[in-house]
Amino acid sequence: MAQQSIVTKNRIVPLDKIRNVGIIAHIDSGKTTTTERILFYTGRTYKIGDIDEGTTQMDWMPQERERGITIVSAATTTFWKGMRINIIDTPGHVDFTAEVERSLRVLDGGVVIFDAEEGVQSQSETVWRQADKYKVPRICFINKMDKLGADFEATVKEIEERLGAKPAVMVYPIGKEQEFKGVIDLLTLKSLIWDKDSQGSQYSISDEIPSDIKEKVLKAKASLIEKIAETDDSLLNKYLNNEEIPLDELKKVLRKSVISYKLIPVYAGSSLRNKGVQPVLDAIVDYLPSPTDLKEIKAINPKTGKVEKRRLINEEKFTALAFKIQLDPHVGKLTYTRIYSGVLESGSYVYNVNRNKQERVSRVLIMHANQREEIDKAFAGEIVALVGPKDTKTGDTLADQNNPILLEKISFPEPVISLAIEPKTKADQEKLSYTLQRLADEDPTFKVKINHETGQTIMSGMGELHLEILVDRMKREMGMQVNVGKPQVAYKETITKLTEGEGKYIKQTGGHGQYGHCLIKIEPLPRGSGFKFVNKIKGGAIPSEFISPVEKGIIEAKEKGVLVGYPLTDFQATLYDGSYHDVDSSDIAFKIAGSMALQDAAKRAGLTLIEPIMKLEVTVPENFMGVVIGDISSKRGKILGTEKRSRAVIIKAYVPLAEMSGYATVIRSLTEGRGLFYMEPSHYEEVPRNIIQAMINK
């Protein structure tokens, strides 16, 4: 317990001494290993967690420990040099991209980790773009410098070329692969060498620079100072006049450049071998922003619709963003929240601006992975978990009821794969609905729907691994035994031309009849636009209370699809005319008319199917390149190009997801077990006519 009390004892630190950072990277770059070292060196844990042994602090779920991957982002708090660092370790696997997205939304800074041999990989690019979207200042750590084929300079070059970043190289590695011993700090020209006995917690500092790299080190230092000087006019004058620039001035200007996204400091090391982690901790403290550096946030006033600003201080009105929901077996629903301004007390009420509801916060917790510690108050700049809110969802703004403002929501990608699921026994049907609802509350990229025609429950997610983990969690955490179908691709239907349609529903029975009549026009929209409804009724041809039922009818019909039964998307429906009956017209009649009108119009609108296309990257030894390219082409794949990296070749392609089932087994057998692949959703494309025909004839 002594371990945990550190948090509460030093918790209340000035705002400028807080750092909210996320560890982000491609799968297998060493995020969790680096986080475990950070916790050990900062005294948060007394033993280094090991992924292979399944003893990590941050990967606490049984599924994470068994597979050696991160599935959910875990939050923790630790201290370094008087600073409080709130860390979120995020997953690297593309199936869990929502975890990265929501973490980046609430972080002030990021540490991006790269594999020194692999360089900038696909998912590195994806998380980099996500960080760009939320304007997150970041530092880079080139990990695995001890790995065969590690190449520091080539990775820095890739960061510059592939990510469009401006790297400021802060350290120079001493040796590489098995010879990697430590780094040289380029600002001070000190050598840092880690010993083997202290698990990396001790290292020696000296002025000695190995003669074989001295020239490169001095050149790298000159280049670093030039890059820093270029971002500040007064420093540039000193630099051009060959004046000596004091170290603290260089650091101050570099900090400003990092916060304004002009420069990205780059460090090197090997987390697994316990080398090079402490300089990264120093960089988090020295260069990444505190809430005070960011000064304020912009949000919308829901009453006026105008943009308002809130300063990120305790004295301001309360504003927070719920960025993650987690179901805890001991305390129930946990709402992870970033507090931007004001103070939150346990036992108080907060106002959910998105849902227009008061929510009671019964307890406020500080999390260390899956351990928790109760606190009385949470302050601006903190990341805490709340117990109590019932209706709050991911991306909701919590605020002071008298001063509500609405923060920007978090956007998530659409699921690309689905499978049918049913309980092993009929008696469990209700339990299954409840279990799926709980999982959908936690994970915004997980969707559940019932196919009313077949009575099947369909769950959709970001990939096969995503769905596999969710089914596994149902069995373990919720004791739910289920049967699952084969994964199905999330096809969609769309239209290719503008047409009109009519829906007329007239039913005469004894007494009141039913009457609903509408005319609509449908037109295609660009890929990814979804569905838009436009009301152009003039002169009361349809009374205003029946407009919404028409829209509901169209939505219901589009969900069922017209061609093969997949949802219809990327089109606009315009309601422009119709008629009604004073007595017989009703909501239900217009809803049915809306549904009939869409089906009528869609049949003449050049219906076609679109399918998810995946961006595929396969890394193979050179001698297997031909056979792998041949296989990709046979899967309707489009080869984008190949790239050589050390002793391997990377093949890049676009491939329809429908052709990629069981690809892990295929690639293993084609390459004698030596091929690796990475796949992420890219876009939707039209399905070839012959395949559509085969699907219709089934």
Q: Which residues are annotated as a binding site?
A: 25-32, 89-93, 143-146
As to burial, measured by CB atoms within 10 angstroms (0-12 exposed, 13-18 middle, 19+ buried), residue 99 is buried
Whether the CA torsion 617, 619, 624, 625 is positive or negative: it is positive
Write the DSSP string, 353-394. TTTTEEEE--EEEEEETTEEEEESEEETT-EEEEE--SS--T
Q: Could you tell me which of 219, 180, 210 has the C-alpha nearest to residue 196? A: 180
Distance of CA 479 to the CA centre of its chain: 28
Q: Side-chain half-sphere of 628: how many Cα atoms within 13 Å?
A: 33
Q: Which amino acid is at 84?
A: R
Q: Using CA atoms, how far apart are residues 99 and 90, in angstroms rounded to an integer?
A: 6
Q: Using CA atoms, how far apart are residues 350 and 41, in angstroms rounded to an integer?
A: 37
Q: Could you tell me which of 485, 461, 492 has the C-alpha nearest to residue 681? A: 461
Helices assigned H by DSSP within 47-163: 62-67, 97-106, 122-133, 152-163
Q: Which residues carry a binding-site annotation for GTP?
A: 25-32, 89-93, 143-146
CA angle 248, 181, 45 (to 5 degrees): 75
Q: Using CA atoms, how far apart are residues 562 and 528, in angstroms rounded to an integer?
A: 19
Helix (H) and strand (E) counts for the chain? 18, 37
Question: Which tokens hold the place of 47?
Answer: 């033993």
DSSP state of 318: P
Largest CA distance in the chain: 102
Q: Using CA atoms, how far apart are residues 263 and 235, in angstroms rounded to an integer?
A: 15
Strand 109-115 with 138-143, pairing: parallel
Residues 6+ apart with CB under 8 A from 259: 137, 287, 288, 289, 293, 294
Q: Using CA atoms, how far apart are residues 85 and 365, in angstroms rounded to an integer?
A: 16
User: Which pairs with CB-CB distance under 8 Å and at least 24 residues apart come from 632-638?
Assistant: 635/659, 635/660, 636/688
CA angle 238, 243, 249 (to 5 degrees): 65
